[in-house]
Amino acid sequence: MQQKDAKLFFIATWGCQMNSHDSEIMRAILEKNGYQWTERQEEADIFILNTCSVRRHAEQRAIGFLGNLKNLKERNPELIIAVGGCAPQNPEVREYLEKKAPHVDIIFGTRNYHRLPEFLNRVMVKRSRVIALDGEDEDLPGLLPAHHTSTVKAYVTIMYGCNNFCSYCIVPYTRGREKSRPLEEIYQEVQELAAKGYKEVMLLGQNVNSYGKDLPGAINFAKLLAHLDKIPGLARIRYMTSHPRDFDDELIETIAATRKVCEHFHLPLQAGSNRILQLMNRGYTREKYIQLTDKIKNKIPGASITTDIIVGFPGETEDDFLDTLDLVQTVRFDAAYTFMYSPRRGTPAAEMENQVPSEIKKDRLNRLVDVQNRITLEKNKLLEDHVVEVLVEGRSKNNPERWSGRTRTNKIVVFEGEENEDLTGQIVEIVISCAQTWTLFGTLKTVSAKKESSSQSRI
């Protein structure tokens, strides 16, 4: 409801799904506290920047945005600016924000965003700056409200932080040590979502395979999935991100045996050279990685496998890179997110010698993307004339006369529906007529809204 005189807030979000979900939570909490959300920057009284640190580029974009807000604040001193998320947890950025960006009123962390109303009050009442970064002993916030962006699928955080310390990665420094949410709390959250009509949940954690290690009892990620699979009304369970080192047989068996856990494996490879994998501190070899993906392909035929790859890690030679290309051609990923290595101060890799020049990184990235796009297209083409199960997410953004959804394997499908029927949230069967690299196009076969998940159609 529109509240008179309510302060309007705008949230800018960078980064991963975890950040997007944190922003959904901040929005719901602020709305509960009488603030009003706006997507129009020009009318905002409060700006909240939810930042990402994983690569320099993302960090710079947030800092650039902050630069523009400086002029705005000079014209309107009442404006409140809050910067949270990963970047302020990075000492380099923190120092910048504290010393060089006096127009920032609130600097907060990745685990205390639920205290924003309190921070805003402090700024408004005491007119003082709030610096509230996370300590390791920060208590988990418990059940929090969230304004879910979609009406069909919802994010659910299952754990915070990361203990892995891959040598290139800043996340363990910005998001702290691993802490799992209690199983009962996650169960309750997912149950409530399903009761509200959400069909899919995406379980979030930096390394979901570590789920439960810090909890009492014999709970682990596989057991969590098996529990959530029983929740009525829910059709699909996804998760992000898993670590190939910790992806054990129990988990593969559980995914094969459950009905709702989707047959999509996102397994960040990062590099295909054993020497580089070791320098990255990844804890597996290329042989182990191939073994794992073979096991998945055998146990769950039709499963899709996607990955993250970094090119230009310090010391990466042409031969190392060719090992990556070779592995990509061996595993034949359905898709890959590819990145140029970005040095992050404070991580071991940033101090390593033989940093790779950016021209070489760009060249390797282009070659990798070419190889992967060809494979993605070839794999998608295999689906032509096949029937796939699609959860409809809504109208296609590019063509509102069409519908858009995803297969269980996480491929985007666009199709024409019947007139005057709202298919949002329904599970439909689609015959694929034309497969492209990023999208599959098809025609509607059947609508099977009541079916929770299909055991035959595993695509």
Known binding-site positions for [4Fe-4S] cluster: 16, 52, 86, 162, 166, 169
Query: What backbone phi and psi angles, to 5 degrees, belong to 150?
Result: -105, 155
Taking the alpha carbons at both ends of the chain, their separation in whole angstroms is 42
The binder of 342, among ligand 5AD, ligand SF4, none, by C-beta within 5 to 8 A per type, is ligand 5AD
Nearest to 82 by CA among 13, 25, 147: 13
Q: Which stretch binds ligand SF4 (CB under 6 A): 128-136, 158-166, 224-232, 382-390?
A: 158-166
Options 18, 106, 120, 162; binder of ligand SF4; rule CB under 6 A: 162
Query: Min. distance of Cβ 343 from ligand SF4 in angstroms?
Result: 14
> Which of the stretches 149-157, 182-190, 250-258, 338-346 binds ligand 5AD when contact is defined by CB under 6 A?
338-346
Residue 206 lies near ligand SF4 (rule: CB under 6 A): yes
Say which entry of ligand SF4, ligand 5AD, none residue 206 contacts (CB below 5 to 8 A, set by partner kind). Answer: ligand SF4
What residue 119 binds from ligand SF4, ligand 5AD, none (CB within 5 to 8 A, per partner kind)?
Answer: none
Does 176 bind ligand 5AD (CB under 6 A)? Our answer is: no
CB distance 384 to 435 below 8 Å: yes
Q: Which residues contact 35 (CB under 8 A, 6 or more apart)?
A: 6, 7, 8, 9, 46, 117, 120
Q: Tell me if residue 390 falls in helix, strand or coil.
A: strand
Residue 339 contacts ligand 5AD per CB under 6 A: yes
The verdict on 207 binding ligand SF4 (CB under 6 A) reads yes
Using CB under 6 A, pick the residue from 45, 98, 308, 429 that binds ligand 5AD.
308
SS (H, E, C) 63-87: HHHHHHHHHHHHHCCCCEEEEEECH
344 binds, among ligand 5AD, ligand SF4, none (CB under 5 to 8 A by kind): ligand 5AD
Listed residue (44, 42, 55) closest to 14, CA to CA: 55
Rg of the chain in Å (alpha carbons): 23
Please name the residues in contact with 53: beta carbons below 8 A apart, sequence gap of 6 or more: 59, 85, 86, 87, 89, 90, 93, 170, 171, 174, 344
Which one of ligand SF4, ligand 5AD, none interacts with residue 438, CB within 5 to 8 A by kind? none
**If we measure between CA atoms, which residue out of 298, 266, 270 comes closest to residue 284?**
270
Nearer to ligand 5AD, 231 or 309 (CB): 309
69 makes contact with ligand 5AD (CB under 6 A): no
Q: Which of 107, 154, 166, 392 binds ligand SF4 (CB under 6 A)?
A: 166
Query: By C-beta, is 270 or 426 nearer to ligand 5AD?
Result: 270
Contact 248, 215 (CB under 8 A): no
Binding residues: 16, 52, 86, 162, 166, 169
Contacts with ligand SF4 in 217-276 (CB under 6 A)? 243
Binding region for ligand 5AD (CB under 6 A) out of 135-143, 226-234, 335-343, 429-437:
335-343
Is 310 or 391 the residue whose CB approaches ligand 5AD more closely?
A: 310
Q: Count the neighbouring beta carbons within 10 Å of the beta carbon of residue 357.
A: 9
168 binds ligand 5AD (CB under 6 A): yes
The Cα–Cα gap between 410 and 153 comes to 13
Query: Binding mask 26-65 vs ligand 5AD (x if CB under 6 A, - otherwise)?
Result: ----------------------------xx----------
Place of tokens 């042409």: 318
Q: How far is the CB of 427 from ligand 5AD (least distance, A)?
A: 30
Q: How many whole angstroms separate alpha carbon 259 and alpha carbon 155?
A: 19
Burial of 420 (0-12, 13-18, 19+ CB in 10 A): exposed
Binding of residue 277 to ligand SF4 (CB under 6 A): no
CA distance 342 to 200: 33
Taking the least distance from each CB to ligand 5AD, the nearer of 47 and 339 is 339
Judge whether 307 and 265 are in contact, CB under 8 Å: no
Q: Which does 110 bind (CB under 5 to 8 A by kind): ligand 5AD, ligand SF4, none?
A: none
153-157, strands of its sheet edge to edge: 153-157, 200-204, 236-240
Q: Which residues bind ligand SF4 (CB under 6 A)?
A: 162, 164-166, 169, 171-172, 206-207, 243
Name the residues that contact ligand 5AD, by CB under 6 A.
54-55, 168-169, 268, 270, 308, 310, 339, 341-342, 344
